Structure 1
Amino acid sequence: MNAITLDSPAPVRGALPRNGAVIAGRAMSGLVILFLLLDGAIKLVPIQPVIDTMATLGWPTDIATARLLGVLTLGSVLLYAWPRTALLGAIILTAYLGGAVATHARIGSPLFTHTLFGVYIGVLAWAGLYLRTPALRALMARRD
Structure 2
Amino acid sequence: MLKAIKITGWALTIILALLFTMSAFMKITLHETALAQASSFGIDAATYRFIGVIEIISLILFIIPRTGVLGTMLLVAYMGGAIVTHLQHQQPVAMAIAIETLLWVTAFLRFPELKQRLITARSL
If the TM-score is normalised by the length of the shorter chain, which range does it land in? Answer: 0.7 to 0.9
Instruction: Tell me what 2:61 maps to.
Output: 79
Over aligned residues, Cα RMSD in angstroms?
Answer: 2.0
More helix as a share of residues: 2
Instruction: Tell me what 2:82 maps to.
Output: 100
Q: How many residues align?
A: 122
CA contact (8 A) 1:22 1:131 kept: yes
TM-score (norm 1): 0.75
Instruction: Tell me what 1:20 maps to.
Output: 4
> Aligned partner of 1:28: which letter?
L
Determine whether 1:122 maps to 2:100: yes
Rg larger in structure: 1
Among 38, 42, 58, the residue aligned to 1:58: 42
Q: Kindly tell me: are residues 115 and 137 of structure 1, through their superposed partners in 2, closer, same or farther at Cα, counting changes over 3 Å?
A: closer
Q: Percent identity?
A: 28
> Aligned partner of 2:94: which letter?
L
SS at match of 1:119: helix
CA contact (8 A) 2:108 2:115 kept: yes
Q: Kindly tell me: are residues 135 and 102 of structure 1, through their superposed partners in 2, closer, same or farther at Cα, counting changes over 3 Å?
A: closer
Task: Quote the Cα distance in structure 2 between the aligned partners of 1:53 and 1:59.
Answer: 9
CA contact (8 A) 1:22 1:133 kept: no
Q: Kindly tell me: are residues 22 and 141 of structure 1, through their superposed partners in 2, closer, same or farther at Cα, counting changes over 3 Å?
A: farther
Gaps of 5+ in 2: none
> Aligned partner of 1:26: which letter?
W
How far the C-alpha of 1:137 sits from its partner, in A, is 4.7
Asked which structure has the greater RCO (Cα within 8 Å, sep 6+), the reply is: 1
